[in-house]
Amino acid sequence: MEKRSDISGFHGLSVEKRLDFVREFAGLSDEECDIVKKTGALDIDTANRMIENVVGTSHLPLGIATNFRINGRDYLIPMAIDEPSVVAAASYAAKLARPKGGFTTSSDESVMIGQIQLLNIKDFDAAKRNILEKKDEITAIANEKDPVLLKYGGGVKDIEIRIIDSERGKMLIVHLLVNVSDAMGANAVNTMAEWISPRLEELSGGDARLRIISNLATKRLARARAVWDKEELAKSVKGMEIKGEKVVDYILDAYHFALVDQYRCATHNKGVMNGIDAVVIATGNDFRAVEAGAHSYAARDGRYTSLTKYEKDSDGNLVGEIELPVAVGTVGGAININPVAKIALKILGVKTARELSEVIASVGLAQNFAALRALATEGIQSGHMKLHAKNIAAIAGAKGSLIDEVANRLVKEKNIKVDRAKEILKELG
Task: Please report, for the domain that includes residue 117, its CATH number.
Answer: 3.30.70.420
Q: Give the model's pLDDT for residue 216.
A: 98
Return the number of other C-beta atoms located less than 10 Å from residue 237's C-beta. Answer: 18
Q: Give the model's pLDDT for residue 426.
A: 86
Over the stretch 249-297, which tens digit does the pLDDT of each residue have?
A: 999 999 999 999 999 999 999 999 999 999 999 999 999 999 999 999 9
Q: Which residues are paired to 211 by β-bridges?
A: 116
Give the range among 138-152, 226-240, 381-395, 408-422 with minimum mean pLDDT.
Answer: 381-395
The answer to whether 270 is a known catalytic residue is yes
In a domain? residue 77: yes
Q: Residues 250, 348: one domain?
A: yes
Please, which pLDDT band fits residue 2 given cuts at 50, 70 and 90? confident
Q: Residues 94, 236: one domain?
A: yes
In a domain? residue 5: no
pTM across the whole model: 0.88
Please, which pLDDT band fits residue 41 given cuts at 50, 70 and 90? low
Q: Residues 245, 346: one domain?
A: yes
The answer to whether 312 is a known catalytic residue is no
Q: Which residue has the higher pLDDT, 376 or 400?
A: 376
d(CA 176, CA 196): 10
Over the stretch 367-386, which tens digit does the pLDDT of each residue have?
A: 999 999 999 987 666 656 66
Q: Residues 370, 266: one domain?
A: yes
d(CA 79, CA 360): 10
Return the number of other C-beta atoms located less than 10 Å from residue 86's C-beta. Answer: 24
In a domain? residue 364: yes
- Give the three-state DSSP class for 15: helix
Q: Residues 203, 333: one domain?
A: no
Q: Residues 356, 253: one domain?
A: yes
Q: Residues 409, 356: one domain?
A: no
The residue from 363, 378, 393 where one domain ends is 378
Q: What share of the chain has pLDDT > 90, as a percent?
A: 69
The residue from 181, 214, 247 where one domain ends is 214
In a domain? residue 1: no
d(CA 204, CA 129): 9
Q: Residues 80, 229: one domain?
A: yes
Over the stretch 303-333, which tens digit does the pLDDT of each residue have?
A: 999 999 999 999 999 999 999 999 999 998 7
The mean pLDDT value for 180-206 works out to: 96
The residue from 167, 197, 214 where one domain ends is 214
Query: Has residue 245 got a pLDDT over 80?
Result: yes
Q: Residues 236, 352: one domain?
A: yes
Give the range among 39-43, 204-208, 291-295, 352-356 with minimum mean pLDDT.
Answer: 39-43
- Catalytic residue, from 270, 309, 386, 422: name it: 270
d(CA 78, CA 347): 7
The angle at the Cα of 327, spanning 323 to 328, to the nearest 5 degrees, equals: 120
The angle at the Cα of 101, spanning 99 to 104, to the nearest 5 degrees, equals: 145
Work out the mean pLDDT of the chain and round it to a whole number. 92
In a domain? residue 34: yes
d(CA 291, CA 217): 11
- Catalytic residue, from 59, 384, 386, 422: name it: 384
Q: Residues 290, 177: one domain?
A: no
Query: Has residue 239 got a pLDDT over 70?
Result: no
- Domain residues for the domain of 419 are 383-427
- Catalytic residue, from 32, 146, 229, 286: name it: 286
- Catalytic residue, from 6, 20, 83, 321: name it: 83
Count of structural domains, the chain:
3
The helix (H) or strand (E) run that includes residue 309 is strand 308-312
